[in-house]
Amino acid sequence: MSLPVLKTARLVLRPVAQGDADRIVELVGNFDVARMLSLVPHPYRREDALWWIDQTCAYADGGERAFAIDEGSGLIGAVSVGRDGPAPEFGYWLGKPYWGRGLMTEAGRAALAWYFEAFRDASILSGALDENSASLNVLRKLGFAGPHPHRLRIKSRGQDLPGTRVRLTFETFNSAARVLS
């Protein structure tokens, strides 16, 4: 299944492409971004971005489905939903210049609406480091609940750190979407 292009009030979510590699390196290469992501090395190199893009393109039919978040000037972050285990996982990152504007909540809502409509899974898992209050707030606004303590391996720091795992059910998401309509 190829990914659609999703449009929100301020954003376009489109499939990640090879041409996004340099911008991904620029944004994820900022340690303030990388330090909150579990699988991201630091420094983040072009080869890392190309590998990730190749993986998301290869898995689009059954694994991670990654959307580039575009504000009109090019990629500013990414949001993905994928099945790497028994339950789908929701993940995301946003370049530091775009923090604090509600963009990730907007992008996340669009990606989750598409995923639930397309795949009808009963629930989706996600998580964040306990120190990442902004990310935990995004998850709360999207309707994720839990919380379940969890340790996350943070590659850029070479440490296992305390985090929180949460779950979003199809019913909760639909209820929240109706309230926001």
Quick count: other Cβ atoms within 10 Å of Cβ 179?
8
Quick count: other Cβ atoms within 10 Å of Cβ 116?
22
pTM of the full predicted structure?
A: 0.92
Ordered structural domains, the chain, with CATH? 6-180 (3.40.630.30)
Element (H, E) at 106: helix 103-119
CB 147 within 8 A of CB 164: yes
Poorest-pLDDT segment among 35-39, 43-47, 82-86, 96-100: 82-86
pLDDT tens per residue, range 73-121? 999 999 999 876 778 999 999 999 999 999 999 999 999 999 999 888 8
